[in-house]
Chain A
Amino acid sequence: MAVYEQTYKRYEGPLTPEWSRFLIIPRYAFRSVFKSKLFSVFFVICFLPLLAEAILIYLHHNISALAIMKINVREIIPIDASFFQTFVTIQGAFAFFVALLVGPPLVARDLRNNALPLYLCRPFSRTEYVMGKMSVLLILLSFITWIPQLLLFALQSYLEGFTWFRDNLWIANSILICSVVWILLLSLLSQAISALLKWRVVASGAILGIFFIPLAFSQIINVIFSTRWGSLISLFSLINNVSSGLFGNFSGVAETFEYTDMNGRDVQILITQPPLWLSWAVICSVCLMCLALLSWKVKAYEVVK
């Protein structure tokens, strides 16, 4: 079917392996996403905290630099689990905004333009389609979350020595698990909402709403009932609990109040956190609901029964 021949001809050349075809979607999506200069600039900004983190790690091991600055960075900011947790949280926040910018149009645009039959009439399943769309976000968010964090962990291990690496290997696991859970949740939620609401702006608003409205309600519940169980409805609080659990900073007791009652007795009130497994369970349930929603909406044609 050469241009000059103008005849129909079958293709009889080699084919790509089936397992790799879902990666075609992110390749095309990245081309479209990075066409926006605004997004490209924002994506570069996402690396600034990582640069700061790298500088701090470097300063910790550069005695001459510490001598020039006349400050003891080692004491002010020790490099431990909390140090990495802080930066994982900061990068998580950036990941949220990247997902907010990239996620909503991914499926919505295809649904609005009836593109799904074009994908699904090929040797390309619904699972591959969802995997392809998900991997757009998963790959992008990985580049600003766990991949650089693990590289910085490796840098710290290199500078500090093998003993530090051996003793703190669990921190690397925590970085990986915490980041993967967060970006998986973000990807699934944004895809599910994108599939449900066909308009980009509405979908972006819905994602913001899903994260911030329950956060406000959870704060109200916590204050009114003097509890922390309200955080079970807020995805931010849930991931925060999970992160604290993974980095070894989770405590079952959130706050303690002590006062003397009318009879002169000392009374201690403990405000407890919901158990860690419950936070995991709620996050898993949300992910499953998103998958179910995607399964319901991602079809070549919607059948009207």
Chain B
Amino acid sequence: MVSVLFGIIRTPRYKKRMAALPEPTSAQTPLIQSASEQPVIDLQGLGITFGRRPILKNLKGDLRGKSIGLLGPNGAGKTTLIHTLLGFHEPTAGTAKIFGLDIFDQAKEIKALVGYMPERDSFIAKMSAVHFVRLMGELSGLPREAALERAHEALFYVGLGEARYRKLETYSLGMKQLAKLAQAIVHGPRLIFLDEPTNGLDPPARLRMIKLIREIRDSGQANIVLSSHLLLDVEECCDEILILRDGQIAVYCNLEEERKSNRKFLMLETRGDQARFVKAVAALGCEYAISGEHRLKLVMQEGVDVKDLYRIAAEEQLQIRRLSYKRDSLEDIFLKAMENGHGGL
């Protein structure tokens, strides 16, 4: 009875969902693949519906980055995706795998490998930070002594060493965020989910948090999934980004590759009839975006040179007052994803 109540026995909805999945091929069967082949997160048509409201729709893709940024406007499904990957919600369609382990069938094995820093204020009342982090370590399976040792280490690491014997209720918001990070890393997980880690932090505290995240990433000991609506945080910490819009993947790309790619933006400041100019530029195959009455963004195509632009401008009697190169920033990627809806850039 207890098992049924607490969801140990599979529900009919689960059985139905699993029946709808394709049979695994022999290539998919082995649980442990070599580290280079194995995606960190493998989304296999993952869908979540709350009541009649679809929250995540048919998410597919292999996320392999060392540090993956989860971006999207409020309500895009970022937090729901993290909660589903942590096994808090049962998928209504498809499934996902973390390090090759199914999020529903092997939830316990996955939870032993991950750390989670929730978005909301979460702590255990009437406990000092060191007791709190130690308890979290013990719940993750660490023996008492090891948990205590690592709790001290984690708190020193995040910068709460001097305040570790204070009750959590007396902590400031920034300190609580750091304590949440400490509990997420105390057991040394392979994958760390950070849900809006810089929420409510002042600039120095934010910089400290970003520095810690980058240090963890650069240690090579753990992968990071960072959910944020602050583009700057993601840009500073992540090498891959997944942009969600209305519960669907709008963009998934490697930020570094995007930055390194030859696709350069040109920012133009003009005077004159822009409409005829952009028509002529588009005829050359260049993508463009009008960002103001006298401002244009152009993506240069191969074979098209700046001289061609000046030529067209002269023909269309348009003055080019300023011309500057601008690399594809995360903001551009994000804004384009919001405009396009689906697909890449």
Measured CB to CB, the residues of A under 8 A from B are 1-3, 6-16, 18, 21, 24, 28, 32, 109-110, 112-115, 117-127, 130, 288, 291-292, 294-295, 298-301, 303-305
In Å, the complex CA distance between A305 and B55 comes to: 11
Contact check, A304 vs B83: say whether CB atoms are below 8 A apart.
Answer: no
If A3-B153, A3-B156, A305-B53 touch, whether A123 touches B124 (CB-CB below 8 Å) is no
In Å, the complex CA distance between A301 and B111 comes to: 16
Selected A-B contacts with CB under 8 Å, 12 pairs: A1-B188, A7-B215, A13-B142, A28-B135, A117-B118, A120-B88, A123-B108, A123-B141, A126-B7, A288-B1, A299-B88, A300-B86
Q: Which B residues are in CB contact (< 8 Å) with A1?
A: 150, 153-154, 157, 185, 188
B2 interface residue (CB < 8 Å to A): yes
If A113-B122, A117-B122 touch, whether A122 touches B135 (CB-CB below 8 Å) is no
From A7, A14, A123, B140 is in contact (CB under 8 Å) with A123
In Å, the complex CA distance between A121 and B180 comes to: 13
In Å, the complex CA distance between A130 and B3 comes to: 12
The total of Cβ contacts below 8 Å across the A-B interface reads 153
If A16-B142, A115-B123 touch, whether A301 touches B157 (CB-CB below 8 Å) is no
If A6-B156, A295-B6, A304-B50 touch, whether A11 touches B150 (CB-CB below 8 Å) is yes
Measured CB to CB, the residues of B under 8 A from A are 1-3, 5-8, 50-53, 83, 86-89, 108-109, 111-112, 114-116, 118, 120-127, 131, 135-136, 138-143, 146, 150, 152-154, 156-157, 161, 183, 185, 187-190, 215-216, 219, 221-222
From A15, A288, A300, A301, B142 is in contact (CB under 8 Å) with A15
A45 to chain B, nearest CB (A): 24
Contact check, B118 vs A118: say whether CB atoms are below 8 A apart.
Answer: yes
Q: Which A residues are in CB contact (< 8 Å) with B123?
A: 113-115, 118
In Å, the complex CA distance between A292 and B4 comes to: 10
A111 to chain B, nearest CB (A): 11
- Residue from the set A110, A122, A126 with the largest chain B CB neighbour count within 10 Å: A122
Contact check, B118 vs A122: say whether CB atoms are below 8 A apart.
Answer: no
In Å, the complex CA distance between A114 and B79 comes to: 15
Contact check, B222 vs A10: say whether CB atoms are below 8 A apart.
Answer: yes
- Residue from the set B51, B124, B127 with the largest chain A CB neighbour count within 10 Å: B124
Contact check, B138 vs A21: say whether CB atoms are below 8 A apart.
Answer: yes
Q: Which B residues are in CB contact (< 8 Å) with A288?
A: 1
Contact check, A32 vs B126: say whether CB atoms are below 8 A apart.
Answer: yes
Contact check, A9 vs B219: say whether CB atoms are below 8 A apart.
Answer: yes
- Residue from the set B5, B111, B222 with the largest chain A CB neighbour count within 10 Å: B5
In Å, the complex CA distance between A7 and B212 comes to: 9
Nearest B residue to A116, CB-CB: B122
Contact check, A127 vs B219: say whether CB atoms are below 8 A apart.
Answer: no
Contact check, B83 vs A6: say whether CB atoms are below 8 A apart.
Answer: no
Nearest B residue to A2, CB-CB: B153
